[in-house]
Structure 1
């Protein structure tokens, strides 16, 4: 007999606009069959299990439009530094891990914060002491920098004479020897010696990540790095396919196939073939590979984000560095046009204002060559965007894929970024309000494990432009704040649109999958400064309760009947 459930007693955010009040949501099996005034729910489902939300909010399940779950899960299983708040705490965690894992030849992991070290560059000596001289490679939280011990540097054969790669930079000591930090593509210098991630570890990392994310109300995501091994992490596709075969993948996943910077146009055919194979084998679209991820530039903290103006030095003088375009702009236009013509969505990391312009120029070329293909292409991160480029998002149907948690004054921005940018660029940081006024469509993601995957924490900052307890004003001014309904929509219906799943997920409406999250307290009832106190207390996927922090919401024993 098909299970029927009626959710009542709380507001319903349908995926857009203000929440409904006095309504019930009726679920039959995997799908929502009705959203009706509470008094009519008994007529539709007289024998249903009734769940009293007790004032909590029922929302579509969150969808993360830019995340690295397999890598994040693996880091939770390795030397995990995400909880450290100082250089001393970071060293203590490394020391504790080394002591508790004496048989590991290499220590791998990540999560260190650039703002914990002078100039954002942790030294090899600190790592040597903490790890007892073992080879160590640890990724920064933003995964744009690698921290290496002396033993790792020696095994890779890197010396003072080793040149910086075209897409990266080696931080050096006065004599030219590597100091321990390798930014962007310089981290690839360890590929020949870095231990490969085993297929088993990747699979366990996926399962660990899924558990973590479901508990935050996330029921689907776009993995921003599938189809290639990067930074020592094996191709996540193997882990996803195993999870499908063993029926352990509970969420729906769009995998953005990784574009190798020097791989050329032949990659398009390979990606389409991989997409079609997965589509034929998994017609339920639990896994979809119709997206390609392209890294256009780096990040501002290590001055590799591609900027229209030069970075400044510590004395406020212009340098000859304006960041890196990882792909020649002319080549980027050809690649994006070919991908668009082949039916591949393009997901571009574009953080600096020059990178954003180059990405938009590529989309414009694709539009002129191919017409409107409904590509749903999106640009992620968007830290600095020139005013002239903001309206181009709506004009080109480009989605602004925002990582809202970063849109606040905090140490990494205030100490490692803003002092090295041109005057006035603080006002161009993450211009969400400008996008909204220009009619741009939003999606939202976390970039986890770069930062927390908790959508509520990101939504809080999208609305406030300040972290909880901050004494500083909103980053970029109050005009860049989003209203709560817009921020919630970005994380639900907006990301569902990007994932091409808006026809059955991302909204609460008749016929849609019952992918739901219960948020308590209801964030719409809270002062803006208190939104962060709301949390996911129950998650449902296709009508099944897959997580609950509150037994009353998960079990029928404490249900209340509708009157």
Structure 2
């Protein structure tokens, strides 16, 4: 060793010793920046709060380090302070609660964004208000142009279904199409009915119904696949409009803390099977390539296109980018309760000869499911009535037996009404229940009228029963059917209090805050095979997280109404902020 080198090393040691004596924190900074410059420093350190990780191995922490959009380390501050460098940003939570970015397990993303720009009928609770809103919208339209909107719920004004006659006088020169809030029924005015050629003599299509009055004349209401009779005449939405819809929807989702969505594509039975594929190529891939994706999306495709999906997965894999994931296939077993088209073992008490609709025949469902499952694709099927759920559970069991054991993660979307013993079958068969808590707010009163109080209270929205049977419960909104609002949905799952009620509906089925949060995070991720990247705040996963106004887990649990999203981070970058946090 040369004399000069020895002198340098002695001086360096003296500096380090002096720093260590005067400031241990300064020593750490000196060590990480100068002595070990190749060590990875954090881009962001989040500290001084309560972090709910949704990771069972370490559910709570107070600090977290992020680099390159992923989580480096989670724990107490002493465990991350060595990752603080000169370029590291610090987010002081000031005691606030952080949770993983919410994953909405069931949305119709482009449809939701389009609906935001159309006539809004959510919450309309009087016939007169319904009529006035359409009249107002029509007054600003050019003759011949289509008036589109949706979100109406006849149960809010006593149950009477709207008819074309309600709005014909105010829309004599414009065809009108207004979807019910569940997406399984729509109202056309007489101009639209004439445009579509819907007459008294028309035969109902398979999987759908044209609602008629006592004289056999169409009332304007179309159910499930019958809606396509009108929709094929509605002008095609342009690519530019669909792109704007995605961006609009994504911005809105971020304000609610949603960082990942599972876009299940088609809004109703009978919709074009091409539309989800067009959205993938024209909308999602465009947003990705142009740097406009704001949240992550897992896409499902119509069951009848499963061979096309299989080829896509073989050639490109399930992960097209950090933003776009390819999920599985989706189909429909039945309709909805609100439209009296959910399939039940017993008839609706307000329609004694109506058991609901099976909108896809059993052989078609079975043949596509067994083939797609054999090809390694995930399968999700919409089932709301108890008979529809039993039908799909039976089919899934048969397919699993025939194709053999594998990590298939079959899904049932909605699973709203379950016959005795069905909740246990979900757990036994490993079938995921993808449920939407806020739907119970709309169904609590109507279920009693349609099914009878005893039957409704025995089989409706059995969240705790499903969890007790070791079922994976994934929570979502079904937006635009219900608002994309995880905090509100979590509150609903915990308390189940419909509007105007002073108590919960079937309180034994309430679930804990812990289980509800998991349903919107780690369980939702597992339900779509995304858990390697998102769902928990664990080292190596994407740094998607939400800062809430609550000052801790207990505070959130005690006062759900006071909670709101203060900031949403995607990949460690702030994507939404309520007050510049």
Q: TM-score, normalised by structure 2?
A: 0.86
Of the three residues 212, 216, 227, the one matched with 1:176 is 216
CA RMSD of aligned residues (A): 2.5
Of the three residues 65, 74, 97, the one matched with 1:35 is 74
> Shift of the alpha carbon at 1:108?
1.5
Checking the alignment, whether the CA contact within 8 Å between 2:378 and 2:408 is kept in structure 1 is yes
Q: Any unmatched runs of 5+ in structure 2?
A: 1-39
Of the three residues 456, 462, 465, the one matched with 2:493 is 462
> Shift of the alpha carbon at 1:248?
1.0
Structure 2: distance between partners of 1:251 and 1:389 = 35
Alignment length, in residue pairs? 536
Of the three residues 544, 547, 559, the one matched with 1:518 is 547
Checking the alignment, whether the CA contact within 8 Å between 1:79 and 1:110 is kept in structure 2 is yes
Q: Which has the higher contact order (CA 8 A, sep 6+)?
A: 1
Of the three residues 252, 256, 260, the one matched with 2:296 is 252
Alignment of 1:509 with 2:558, yes or no, is no
Match for residue 324 of structure 2?
Answer: 287
Alignment of 1:541 with 2:570, yes or no, is yes
Runs of 4+ in 1 over 4 A off after TM superposition: 16-22, 226-229, 231-234
> Shift of the alpha carbon at 1:154?
0.7
Alignment of 1:45 with 2:68, yes or no, is no
Of the three residues 330, 335, 339, the one matched with 1:302 is 339
> Shift of the alpha carbon at 1:435?
0.7
Structure 2: distance between partners of 1:104 and 1:24 = 59
Q: Any unmatched runs of 5+ in structure 1?
A: 261-266, 554-563
Match for residue 420 of structure 1?
Answer: 450
Instruction: Classify 1:22/1:541 alpha carbon distance in 2 versus 1 (closer, same or farther; 3 Å).
Output: closer
1:223-261 deviation digits (Å, cap 9, x = unpaired): 11169992799442221122122221122211110135x
Checking the alignment, whether the CA contact within 8 Å between 2:175 and 2:188 is kept in structure 1 is yes
Alignment of 1:450 with 2:481, yes or no, is yes
Structure 2: distance between partners of 1:421 and 1:489 = 31
Alignment of 1:146 with 2:186, yes or no, is yes
Structure 2: distance between partners of 1:216 and 1:55 = 20
> Shift of the alpha carbon at 1:103?
6.1
Alignment of 1:14 with 2:14, yes or no, is no
Query: 2:179 aligns to what SS in structure 1?
Result: strand
Checking the alignment, whether the CA contact within 8 Å between 2:122 and 2:152 is kept in structure 1 is yes
Query: 1:337 aligns to what SS in structure 2?
Result: helix
Query: 2:139 aligns to what SS in structure 1?
Result: helix
Structure 2: distance between partners of 1:43 and 1:383 = 49
Which of 1 and 2 has greater Rg?
Answer: 2
Checking the alignment, whether the CA contact within 8 Å between 1:337 and 1:362 is kept in structure 2 is no
Alignment of 1:405 with 2:438, yes or no, is yes
Query: 1:211 aligns to what SS in structure 2?
Result: helix
Checking the alignment, whether the CA contact within 8 Å between 1:433 and 1:479 is kept in structure 2 is yes
Checking the alignment, whether the CA contact within 8 Å between 2:164 and 2:188 is kept in structure 1 is yes
Structure 1: distance between partners of 2:306 and 2:500 = 46
Aligned runs of 1:87-486 on 2, under 5 Å?
87-102=127-142, 105-116=145-156, 119-225=159-265, 230=271, 234-235=275-276, 236-237=279-280, 238-260=282-304, 267-279=305-317, 283-284=320-321, 286-313=323-350, 319-408=352-441, 410=442, 412-415=443-446, 417-422=447-452, 423-467=454-498, 470-476=500-506, 478-486=507-515
> Shift of the alpha carbon at 1:59?
0.8
Match for residue 556 of structure 1?
Answer: none
Checking the alignment, whether the CA contact within 8 Å between 2:42 and 2:65 is kept in structure 1 is no
Instruction: Classify 1:509/1:21 alpha carbon distance in 2 versus 1 (closer, same or farther; 3 Å).
Output: closer
Instruction: Classify 1:138/1:471 alpha carbon distance in 2 versus 1 (closer, same or farther; 3 Å).
Output: closer
> Shift of the alpha carbon at 1:21?
5.6
Structure 1: distance between partners of 2:328 and 2:439 = 24
Checking the alignment, whether the CA contact within 8 Å between 1:168 and 1:183 is kept in structure 2 is yes
Structure 1: distance between partners of 2:426 and 2:551 = 32
Alignment of 1:495 with 2:534, yes or no, is no
Deviates more, 1:395-404 or 1:324-333: 324-333
> Shift of the alpha carbon at 1:198?
1.5
Structure 2: distance between partners of 1:86 and 1:11 = 45
